[in-house]
């Protein structure tokens, strides 16, 4: 399909201000937003990075009825396609919001920073099949339970750096948090904060792959938990907890739990859920690798080829509450396995993890140079 290509440059002070070209770009974010709402879907709006962060918000509330067309908001720095990020935000209670009527929106190459004071995040995706790609999102708010990205429908979050200054989270919030993911994807992100990812309800074909989850050292926030999932039924009673793939994630220096499942459907309905090739590096001797806190349903998932630091995670804390669920091939290692002790740099060839199983298996999000795949942005 042919897009209606338009441009926005808030630093521009000349031209026709109609978005028709870079020379005539819209001179405010609000003007670009109005055009998208009036003419979408099918608008591809390019936002040029300005000399300083633009003090603005975006709230797309238009009804994009034609699901065959996408709406793209894409940042750039100097030249279209250079992947430079458009900087937007301020120290107040702002947000980029893609409302439930705005489906099929791609937010690409944005640097978003607010001090969001509620639990709806600095980027809030409510529409279906939305994509957040190659973005940097940070919540400055230091109150508990304040995350960076929230979603309430199918959403893809890919190749982003996402962080939050909140010191702790309850059971329904995290740096990236939400629900209702059917076929949703959270992949290849760098996630920093007290709890990385929290997802609840109606999972079908959900993938969480290749993320590095770690403390937010810039805001002096420890990582308490990597991933928390509620594999529950939707309200109609039909199970949706099927074909969930949690694979190749690195959960670095966590203090309490690597991956927790808080609620599940009955054993026969929840099938096809796989946890594999995740790399756990615990920072506290009381930390648990996998935890199932739903005592009524225990045997629901397959665990294969995950790696844990055995000098910190004791044998009794590696799989907790799963009954007779198979936990095939847990690779145990000692010490910090990463190059320069940095989980974004891959596995050191001299580490015990490399020697324990790296010749035949990949673990975590960033591989060493023996493998071609490198995930995080």
> What per-residue confidence (pLDDT) applies to 318?
93
Q: What is the pLDDT along the chain (377 residues), one digit of tens a residue?
A: 689 999 999 999 999 999 999 999 999 999 999 999 999 899 999 999 999 999 999 999 877 766 678 999 999 999 999 999 999 999 999 999 999 888 899 999 999 999 999 999 999 999 888 999 999 999 999 999 999 999 988 899 999 999 999 999 987 789 999 876 677 899 999 999 999 999 876 667 788 999 999 999 999 999 999 999 876 655 555 545 667 899 999 999 999 999 998 876 655 555 678 899 999 999 999 999 999 887 676 656 788 889 999 999 999 999 888 776 666 578 999 999 999 999 999 898 889 998 876 555 678 998 765 654 444 54
Q: Which three-class secondary structure state does DSSP give residue 293?
A: coil
Which pLDDT score is estimated for 270?
Answer: 59
pLDDT of the residue at 375: 47
What is the pLDDT at residue 372?
A: 47
- What number of other Cβ atoms are within 10 A of residue 158's Cβ? 20
- 121, part of any domain: yes
**HEC letters along 304-339:** ECCEEECCCCCHHHCEECCCCCCEECCEEECCCCEH
Residues 141 and 125: their CA atoms lie apart, in Å, by 19
Residues 109 and 99: their CA atoms lie apart, in Å, by 20
Residue 366 pairs in a beta bridge with 374
Residue 148 CA to residue 293 CA, distance in Å, equals 26
Q: Judge whether 187 and 155 are in contact, CB under 8 Å.
A: no
Question: Which SS3 state, helix, strand or coil, does residue 122 take?
Answer: coil
Q: Collapsing DSSP states into helix, strand and coil, what is residue 152?
A: coil
**Residue 332 forms part of a structural domain:** yes
d(CA 227, CA 207) in angstroms, rounded, equals 13
Structure tokens at 243: 């074909």
Would 130 be classed as within a structural domain? yes
Residue whose tokens read 């010749």: 359
Domain count, the chain: 1
Q: Which of 351, 332, 331 minimizes the C-alpha distance to 340?
A: 351
Contact between 95 and 122 under an 8 Å Cβ cutoff? The reply is: yes
- Domain for residue 264, yes or no? yes
| In-domain check, residue 347 | yes
Q: What is the pLDDT of residue 205?
A: 74
Residues 6+ apart with CB under 8 A from 318: 288, 289, 290, 308, 327, 330
Residue 273 is predicted with a pLDDT of 81
Q: What pLDDT, on a 0 to 100 scale, did the predictor assign at position 337?
A: 94
d(CA 243, CA 249): 17
Helix/strand/coil (H, E, C) string of 205-265? CCEEECCEEECEHHHCECEEEEEEEEECCCCCCCCCCECCEEECCEEEEEEEEEEEEEEEC
Contacts of 315 (CB under 8 A, 6+ apart): none
Q: Give the DSSP letter of residue 84.
A: P
* Cα 64 from Cα 35, distance rounded (Å): 13
Whether residue 99 is contained in a domain is answered as no
Residue 327 confidence (pLDDT): 61
Alpha carbon distance, N-terminus to C-terminus of the chain: 29
What are the angstrom distances between the C-alpha of 266 and each of 171, 186, 241, 298, 358?
Answer: 21, 25, 10, 9, 36
Query: Domain span at residue 280?
Result: 115-358
Residue 290 lies in a domain: yes
Provide the pLDDT for residue 344. 94
pTM: 0.94
Q: Is residue 348 part of a domain?
A: yes
* DSSP helix/strand/coil, 74: strand
């Amino acid at each position: 399909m042919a897009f209606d290509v338009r441009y926005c440059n808030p630093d521009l002070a000349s031209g026709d201000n109609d978005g028709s070209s870079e020379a005539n770009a819209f001179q405010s974010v609000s003007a670009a937003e109005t055009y998208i709402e009036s003419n979408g879907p099918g608008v591809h709006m390019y936002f040029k990075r300005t000399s300083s962060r633009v003090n603005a918000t975006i709230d797309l509330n238009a009804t994009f009825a034609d699901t065959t067309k996408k709406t793209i908001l894409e940042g750039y720095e100097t030249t279209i396609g250079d992947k430079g990020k458009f900087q937007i935000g301020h120290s107040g209670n702002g947000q980029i919001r893609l409302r439930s009527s705005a489906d099929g929106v791609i937010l690409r190459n944005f640097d978003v920073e607010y001090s969001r004071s509620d639990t709806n995040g600095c980027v809030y995706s409510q529409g279906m099949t939305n994509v957040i790609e190659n973005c940097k999102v940070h919540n400055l708010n230091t109150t508990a339970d304040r995350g960076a990205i929230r979603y309430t429908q199918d959403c893809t979050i890919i190749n982003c750096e996402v962080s939050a200054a909140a010191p702790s989270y309850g059971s329904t919030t995290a740096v990236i948090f939400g629900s209702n993911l059917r076929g949703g994807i959270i992949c290849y992100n760098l996630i920093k904060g007290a709890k990385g990812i929290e997802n609840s309800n109606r999972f079908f074909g959900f993938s969480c792959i290749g993320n590095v989850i770690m403390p937010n050292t810039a805001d002096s926030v420890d990582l308490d938990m990597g991933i928390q999932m509620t594999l529950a039924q939707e309200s109609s009673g039909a199970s949706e907890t099927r074909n969930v793939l949690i694979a190749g994630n690195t959960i670095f220096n966590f203090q309490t739990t690597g991956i927790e499942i808080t609620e599940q459907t009955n054993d026969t309905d929840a099938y096809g859920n796989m946890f594999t090739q995740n790399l756990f590096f615990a920072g506290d001797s009381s930390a648990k690798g996998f935890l199932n806190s739903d005592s009524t349903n225990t045997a629901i998932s397959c665990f294969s080829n995950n790696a844990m630091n055995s000098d910190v995670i004791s044998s009794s804390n590696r799989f907790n509450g799963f009954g007779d669920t198979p936990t095939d091939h847990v690779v145990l290692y000692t010490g910090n396995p990463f190059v320069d002790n940095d989980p974004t740099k891959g596995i050191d060839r001299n580490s015990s993890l490399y020697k324990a199983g790296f010749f035949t298996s990949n673990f975590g999000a960033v591989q060493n140079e023996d493998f071609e795949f490198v995930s995080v942005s």
